[in-house]
Amino acid sequence: MQNRALALPAGLLALLAGLALAPATLDAQPRPTRPDAPGLSAIVNARVVTVSGAAIENGTVVMADGVITAVGAGVDVPAGARVLDGTGRTLYPGLIDALTTLGHGREPEAGARGGGGGGDGDRPHAWGPEDRPGTTTWLTAADGLDPGDERFEHWREAGFTSVVSTRHEGLVPGRAAVLNLGSFERPRELVVASPVAMRVNLQDRSRSYSGFPGSAMGVFAYLKQLYYDAAHHADAWAAYGADPRGRRRPEWDGALDPIRRQLREGWPALFPASSRSDVVRALATTAEMGVRPIVYGAQGAWEAADLLAANDVPALVSLDWPAPPRDGDPDEVPTLAELRRYDRAPTAPAALAEAGVPFAFYSGGLDDPAEALPAARRAVAQGLSADDALRALTLSAAEIFGVDDRLGSIETGKIANLIVADGTLFDEGTVIETVFVDGERFETAAGQAGGAWTGTPAARRAPASAVPGRPPDRHYPIPPLRRCLWPPTGGRTATTR
């Protein structure tokens, strides 16, 4: 029989050739790489405010791979370390914003009271508690972070190195996470701890649903019913898991399972409360829900500090102090209650401190995080000690959320989150010049205005992140193996305020 070569169409030949080359082409693609971890570095000759202990004059802090490895006045700088001279500067732990929505969009302004209600539109309609209105307990702030959120850089610029972030949509929007505000290739690299709490709202400002519950009382009733259902859900599945033979399995409910875990592991609920009556309702409601509360808002805590202390409930105080509307009706006369709220809100932190209530600050509705320190300064002017104010922005926040073993103070073994200021933090005019997150150095705009450290490369922006849509970081790696003098030649001299 005559042998004939098999004739193939030209298109098929091209396809086969492409498939043969495909593995080589795929192998040739560059693999994504993470940035190198910060190496060995030290800050010397600085005043070190540890928060957890006494301040150290002429102190040294040594960092390696993003962790503090040594702190003290007589600490030897390891050979090969990159050294920064902090003469005339004060070193603080990085600030912590105790409640934000960073990475998940801005929270809408306060709208209609209560939850749900109104027309349906395109929103899902809830007929009763079994529809789980505004409830997304399975979501966590550690997931779905928006890498293009410009607030990451703005908050870091203001000295915040960590935040507690939550989603905000709905009545139970999900689980909170602690994030570090450093540079990243993947958003999940920001996560320090998750979950640390379950957030509860009494209003659905995002209007994510319509119908039930249509009033404030309905919201309280729904929250209690939700947690009753979760406890029953836990019992039913425990009984079924222990002896499934011959039993009808319980119905799965994805909204209840995260609460079942919350009840089992004991993490708290973030619950809004400001006035004394708010706190009374929060304590009663969370007791029926079977969870530990952390109240947030807390600007009326000056009249409720005794209740919080008696029940061992911590508070998160919003630094967005109430004030008359800027564009309000000039003929409208504020009520006595409004005037009292404007006047007394900044006294709440001092009242909490005097009562022994653990509390931390959060930025609340502040558009600019640079307003946080002046707002805290106002609380100091109203009787809060500067030490307690600093603690509320650092170690107390870490303790409330159970991450004080890694954040909140300058101690050996903790994450190297630090800020460098040219004076005492709460003195007017003090400038935060440099921020370290996970041991990585970032110059603030104010720090650049004061001049680069002598011996460092010229200040420059790092290239844009590999994450699409994310703006470039203001990121400056510590220069290698070179002592940096501060202030630079011809720059401003250090001042102690």
HSE-CB at 83 with a 13 A cutoff on CA atoms is 17
Whether 154 and 191 share a structural domain: yes
Whether 353 and 464 share a structural domain: no
Read off the tokens for 354: 């005097």
DSSP conformation letters of 100-120? E-TTS-PPPPP-SSSSS-S--
pLDDT at 20: 52
Cα–Cα distance measured from residue 189 to residue 34, given in angstroms and rounded to the nearest whole number: 10
Hey, how many other C-beta atoms are within 10 angstroms of the C-beta on 275?
18
Tally of domains within the chain? 2
pLDDT at 464: 34
Q: pLDDT confidence of 109, banded at 50, 70, 90? A: low
Mean pLDDT of the chain: 83
Check pLDDT > 50 for residue 393. Answer: yes
In tens, the pLDDT along 326-382 reads: 777 777 778 888 888 999 999 999 999 999 999 999 999 898 999 999 999 999 999
Residue 427 lies in a domain: yes
Cα–Cα distance measured from residue 89 to residue 78, given in angstroms and rounded to the nearest whole number: 22
Read off the tokens for 340: 């009292």
**Scanning the structure block, which residue is given the tokens 């030949």?**
13
pLDDT at 52: 96
The CATH number that applies at residue 461 is 2.30.40.10
Check pLDDT > 50 for residue 481. Answer: no
Cα–Cα distance measured from residue 163 to residue 393, given in angstroms and rounded to the nearest whole number: 10
Check pLDDT > 70 for residue 147. Answer: yes
Whether 326 and 259 share a structural domain: yes
Q: What are phi and psi of 60, to 5 degrees?
A: -130, 135
Q: Closest Cα partner for 305 from 383, 390, 407, 198?
A: 383
Q: How, if at all, do strands 41-48 and 56-64 pair?
A: antiparallel
Structure letter (DSSP) for residue 175: E
pLDDT at 492: 33
In angstroms, what is the C-alpha Rg of the chain? 27
Helices marked H in 382-477: 386-392, 395-400, 445-449
- Residue 189's Cβ-count burial label (10 Å; 0-12, 13-18, 19+) is middle
Whether 418 and 344 share a structural domain: no
Whether 308 and 371 share a structural domain: yes
pLDDT at 491: 35
Which residue among 377, 400, 423 closes a domain? Answer: 400
Which residue among 372, 400, 428 closes a domain? Answer: 400
pLDDT at 112: 40
In tens, the pLDDT along 8-59 reads: 555 555 555 555 554 544 444 455 555 555 689 999 999 999 999 999 999 9
Q: What percentage of the chain reaches a pLDDT higher than 90? A: 64
Helix (H) or strand (E) holding 172: none
Whether 191 and 108 share a structural domain: yes
Whether 179 and 308 share a structural domain: yes
Check pLDDT > 90 for residue 277. Answer: yes
Q: How, if at all, do strands 210-211 and 191-199 pair?
A: unpaired
Q: Is the dihedral of CA 301, 303, 307, 312 positive or negative?
A: positive
In tens, the pLDDT along 359-368 reads: 999 999 898 9
Lowest mean pLDDT among 19-33, 65-79, 429-443, 464-478: 464-478
Whether 364 and 423 share a structural domain: no
The CATH number that applies at residue 192 is 3.20.20.140
In tens, the pLDDT along 232-262 reads: 999 999 999 999 999 999 998 999 999 999 9
Residue 248 lies in a domain: yes
Mean pLDDT across 266-283 = 96
Cα–Cα distance measured from residue 318 to residue 154, given in angstroms and rounded to the nearest whole number: 18
pLDDT at 128: 86
Whether 69 and 209 share a structural domain: no
Cα–Cα distance measured from residue 362 to residue 132, given in angstroms and rounded to the nearest whole number: 29
Cis peptide leading into 129, omega within 30 of 0?
A: no
Whether 193 and 263 share a structural domain: yes
Phi/psi-derived region of residue 230, left when phi > 0, alpha when psi is between -120 and 50, beta in every other case: alpha
Question: Apex CA 236: angle with CA 235 and CA 238, to 5°?
Answer: 65
Whether 242 and 384 share a structural domain: yes
pLDDT at 468: 38
- CB burial of 22-61 (b: ≥16 within 10 Å; e: otherwise) equals eeeeeeeeeeeeebeebbbbbbbbbbbbbbeeeebeebbb
Helix 216-242 vs helix 276-289: crossing angle, to nearest 10: 20
Whether 334 and 357 share a structural domain: yes
pTM: 0.82
Q: Which domain holds residue 440?
A: 41-94+413-484
pLDDT at 184: 82
Cα–Cα distance measured from residue 217 to residue 213, given in angstroms and rounded to the nearest whole number: 8
